[in-house]
A = this chain, B = another copy of it.
């Protein structure tokens, strides 16, 4: 699947891809997922719809790809401690950027129930790679002896982190800032992992 996608993508330059993704995110902010059409993306980016479908497969993959593209990867993070790695993960984007990204994802979360293809694309392109990066962090912490390999909280990292974003943003109506997120890591995530 990842290979097929990258084979398809070699047909356009990475510069052109970045341009396209930017337009998709602009449209997404302007009209929301449901009203975003491949026609509108084609018009805005002066592409043919055939090209868009050939490169991405569909609207869901195009949107998920656009969001993934602008998130800095956590894969380069390796500070030498579990706490340090988690701090680096949650602060790898500045407050403005993390709030913008989270607003986009929150909007998509409200429509995934009616768009199973969107959920599938978000899982494949955003959630699973993120879980994989978190697993590498946990793996190194296990090797260093910071956490036990069978600690059951390891299976709930996403639950803990998404809960922090969701309550902070939806209920408290506050942005998930670089001062809030590390304090949550210290209070909840690290102790739950037994580190």
User: Which residues of A are at the interface with B, using a C-beta cutoff of 8 A?
Assistant: 109-110, 112-113, 119, 123, 127, 151-153, 155-156, 158-164, 166-168, 170-171, 173, 183-184, 186-189, 191-192, 194
A-B contact sample (12 more), CB < 8 A, given A158-B163, A159-B160, A159-B184? A109-B110, A119-B173, A123-B171, A153-B191, A156-B184, A156-B187, A159-B167, A160-B160, A160-B188, A162-B171, A163-B166, A163-B167
- 27 A-B pairs (CB sep. < 8 Å): A109-B110, A109-B170, A112-B170, A113-B170, A119-B171, A119-B173, A123-B171, A151-B187, A152-B187, A153-B187, A155-B187, A156-B164, A156-B187, A158-B171, A159-B160, A159-B163, A159-B166, A159-B167, A159-B184, A159-B188, A160-B160, A160-B188, A162-B171, A163-B164, A187-B192, A188-B192, A191-B191
A189 to B192, CA, bound (A): 7
A contact face: mostly helix, strand, loop, or mixed: helix
Report which of B123, B164, B173 forms a contact with A159, defined as CB distance below 8 A.
B164
